[in-house]
Amino acid sequence: MQELKHTDLLPNFLGIELNDSEKSTQVTYASFQERAHNAIEELAYTSKSNPIMLLTTSSDINIEDCIKDLISNTSMPKRTLYDICYAENLTNPLAPTWLHIKSGTATEFNTLICELLNKIQHKLDAEDVLLRILHKQDNNKKLEDYLSDLAIHIAEGKDFAHPVLMNLMVCHEPNQVPVIFGQDLTWKRLFGGVNYLTENGTTYSHQHLLEAGVLRKADGGFLILPVDELVRNPLLWFKLKNTLKAGLLDWENPTENPTSLVPFFAPEPTPINVRIILVGSYLNIAELYNYDPEIQSAIYLRTDLTSYFNLQKYGKSFLQYLYTLANKLKLLPFSDESMLRLVRESCRYAESQTEFLINEQKITAIMLEANGKAQRAKKDIIDLEIMTKTLLDHNFRSNSVVEESSEFYHNKQMLISTDGDIVGQINGLSVIQTFGSDFEYGEPVRITATIHSGGEGDIADIEHKADLAGQIHTKAMMIINGYLTNKFASIDPLPVSANLVFEQSYSEIDGDSASLTGLCAILSALSKQPIKQSFSVTGAVDQLGNVQPVGGVNEKIEGFYRICRIQGLTGKQGVIIPKSNIQSLILNDEIIEAVSNGMFHIYAVSSVDEAIELLTGVKANLASSNQENPNQPQALNNEVMKEQTPDIYTLILEQLDKINERTSYQKQESLLSTIKKFFTKKA
């Protein structure tokens, strides 16, 4: 057992401070992503044709900027990029053909083509121009064949179906690998499509009415696609997978009926050379796997974007990231104290004193709001006061439900005792998440336990019987039952059963964080030792009585403190948490001050013994009870225990012995009565 000091309730920021020169270092979210950087590098250099990388991420970051930063920070292999041009098919105008032109040469290519056509039309020697074009295009064989056919076509005086011969459909920046982010995906946006015109009742199309789509625009580079959009339209995924495998992208569109438009218009399929990055949450990726069980065979790489980082290892980089973000948003300067307050908030998001969570969306919103407050206050810097006020306002706008809850305790509509001693009654801690937001708050709950003889020696969990409990909660109740039978029924069955109730709870309960609380209530009822109502308890427990960590510990502590403040702080109130949750504590300033002044207490325990001793003031002796020889007669164990100072274990055994004796006597009396009735009837 350990009572925590106010200094134990916050992270240690020593060693992560920055000097002025370090503040100017540019650090982005991508700078923290070592795994993703490794995967992007492999994706860039792999010789696999049209590889797909699956990137798991959360929705609280700017994924487009992050991936573009990862790619820009990765050395790329030297690779010739090509623009995509569709030209009129000289033998079949209904089947335009594609041509590749080296990126960055489009203007020069256009000039030389015009010169070539002019010389041919005037029956001048155009061989030198043709050779110059082919030389500039690295003697592209397909282009050479097309230009040769073009020369013959013009020389023979044949006409063209469209006055402009070629359509430069995709044009890349020279020496810059294209990185395209696809969103609001439709069939045409992703794969391109054919547009049509109607004139005098006739529908037609040509190479200038072809629309590229992001897949062609990303040729030679990277295409980033959100998985959730593929899940909404699975046909896009199957078409994409088959196209990448074949390396050719056609112009078919299943949503169109080509026979009602131009039945024989069929542009030549485009060769595809692209690297795909599919981005989505675990849930969306699981849905895509559900649609396509064979998706794994199409995935070349898989990695994650992580958001949790060690404070001591990455603390300085995180501060530099915050300064970089502030500069990017063009905000007022931040003081060192205000930035550290943001780091503290990020540690709270991670529920850890040793780690922080980068939630770019929340951090950006807080920074922008703090900047606005500083400007309205006519300050030239965002100091700690402004940052603290921003965080308080950020919380205030979401906590109306907390104020409504507090009114129930003010009006005594919710019954919670924070003083006195009661047998079989204990204060538990729960976390409630509001619908439609990620706002969570702590809410104490009164748990009562009663004991009755008979039954099967088990725990009747009222929540479970009323269908108000989830599976994890039900498992926790079974673990409590396992602990009790291990301690007190290793030889004979328990002669009692227990009822456990979460009072004034009318919604579903789930999780195992109340298992320590429920067990202590039952131990109190079994031993008839009252529990101090000034305490509230949270923690999971195993069958051996070890206390295990739980989530939401900060909100739980703050929730009980809120009720204690409403009913009046006495200096005796506090909470009992798992010892392994100490590193999760990032509490608000009011509680830290109350702990510092001795008006509120936080105890960390590692076993049921420590918890029940704090709650009852009676030594437990549960862990040291004689369980090594379960075959030893129970009467001998009881006799040894009675010679010692009564403890929880002894008191419970005495109560069980009394119930056993009374039950045996009642059974004996019942048997004698039955025998007497039998012989009386015979006579």
Listing DSSP states for 518-542 in one string gives: HHHHHHHHHHTPPEETTEEE--EE-
Strand partners, 536: 427, 575
CA dihedral 339, 340, 344, 349 (to 10 degrees): 30
Structure tokens at 189: 């946006």
**Mean pLDDT highest for which of 244-258, 273-287, 488-502?**
273-287
| H helical segments located in 411-512 | 462-465, 471-488
pLDDT in tens, 93-141: 899 999 999 998 988 998 898 888 888 888 888 888 889 989 888 889 9
Pairing of the two strands 535-537 and 425-433: parallel
Phi and psi at residue 657, in whole multiples of 5°?
A: -65, -40
CA 192, 198, 201, 202 dihedral sign is: negative
List beta partners, residue 500: 449, 461
Give how far Cα 380 sits from Cα of 18, 336, 383, Å. Answer: 20, 14, 9
pLDDT of residue 171: 92
How far is Cα 13 from Cα 336, in angstroms, rounded to an integer? 12
pLDDT at position 623 is 75
**Residue 393, token pair as written in the block:** 């306002």
Three-state secondary-structure class, residue 434: coil
- At residue 358, does pLDDT exceed 60? yes
Question: What is the Cα–Cα distance from 652 to 660, expressed in whole angstroms?
Answer: 12
Contact 374, 353 (CB under 8 A): no
- Specify the pLDDT at position 124: 84
* Category of 208 on φ-ψ map: left (φ > 0), alpha (ψ -120 to 50) or beta: alpha
pLDDT above 90 covers what percent of the chain? 53
Segment holding 433, helix H or strand E: strand 425-433
Give residue 656's region: left, alpha or beta (phi > 0; psi -120 to 50): alpha
* Cα–Cα–Cα angle for 183, 295, 44, rounded to 5 degrees: 65
Q: Is 14 exposed, middle or buried (0-12, 13-18, 19+ CB in 10 A)?
A: exposed
In whole angstroms, give the CA distance from residue 610 to residue 516.
11
Amino acid symbol at 675: I
Count of CB atoms within 10 A of residue 406's CB? 16
Is the pLDDT at 635 greater than 50, yes or no?
no
CA gap 309, 154 in Å, rounded: 67
Percent of the chain with pLDDT over 70: 87
Active site residues: 513, 556
Cβ(539)–Cβ(578) below 8 Å: yes
Of 634, 631, 628, 630, residue with least CA distance to 650: 634
Beta strands at 179-181 and 222-226: parallel, antiparallel or unpaired: parallel
At residue 634, does pLDDT exceed 50?
Answer: no
Q: Tell me which of 149-158, 291-300, 451-460 is least confident.
A: 451-460
pLDDT digits (tens, 9 = 90+) for 493-551: 677 777 888 887 655 566 677 889 989 998 998 888 999 999 999 999 998 889 999 99
pLDDT averaged over the chain? 86
- Residue 557 makes CB contacts below 8 A (sequence gap 6+) with 429, 442, 575, 577, 585, 587, 591, 602
Measured in whole angstroms, how far is the alpha carbon of residue 185 from the centre of its chain?
24
> 244-258, 504-518, 555-569, 595-609 — which is least confidently predicted?
504-518
Q: What is the DSSP string of 128-154?
A: HHHHHHHHHTTT-HHHHHHHHHHHHHH
Three-class SS state of 502:
strand
Nearest C-alpha neighbor of 413 from the set 603, 536, 566, 290: 566
Lowest mean pLDDT among 6-15, 328-337, 482-491: 482-491
Looking at residue 675, its pLDDT comes to 52
Q: What is the mean pLDDT of residues 149-177?
A: 88
393 φψ region: left (φ > 0), alpha (ψ -120 to 50), beta (else): alpha
pLDDT of residue 268: 94
Q: How confident is the model at residue 468 (pLDDT cuts 50, 70, 90)?
A: low
Q: Are 442 and 557 contacting, i.e. CB atoms less than 8 angstroms apart?
A: yes
| Tokens matching residue 73 | 């920070």
Query: Residue 627: which pLDDT band, with cuts at 50, 70 and 90?
Result: very low
CB 244 within 8 A of CB 297: no
Alpha-carbon separation of residue 155 from 37, 631, 672 (angstroms):
55, 109, 126
Range among 180-194, 245-259, 636-650 rated most confident: 180-194
Domain chopping of the chain, boundaries: 34-64+177-305, 80-173, 308-396, 413-616
Question: What values do phi and psi take at 512, rounded to 5?
Answer: -110, 10
34 pLDDT tier (thresholds 50, 70, 90): very high
Q: How far is CA 361 from CA 13, 29, 343, 346, in A?
A: 23, 12, 15, 12
Question: What is the DSSP secondary-structure string of 463-478?
Answer: HHHTT-B-HHHHHHHH
Instruction: Give residue 212's pLDDT.
Output: 93
From start to end of 146-299, where are the E strands? 166-170, 179-181, 193-194, 197-199, 202-204, 210-211, 222-226, 248-249, 270-271, 275-280
- Span 308-396 CATH architecture: Orthogonal Bundle (1.10)
The domain at 413-616 falls in which architecture?
A: 2-Layer Sandwich (3.30)
According to the model, what pLDDT value does residue 438 have? 75
Q: What is the pLDDT of residue 270?
A: 95
Q: Give the pLDDT confidence of 315-357 residue by residue, as tens digits.
A: 999 999 999 999 999 999 999 999 999 999 999 999 999 999 9
pLDDT at 342: 96
This prediction has a pTM of 0.83
CATH T-level topology, domain 34-64+177-305: Rossmann fold (3.40.50)
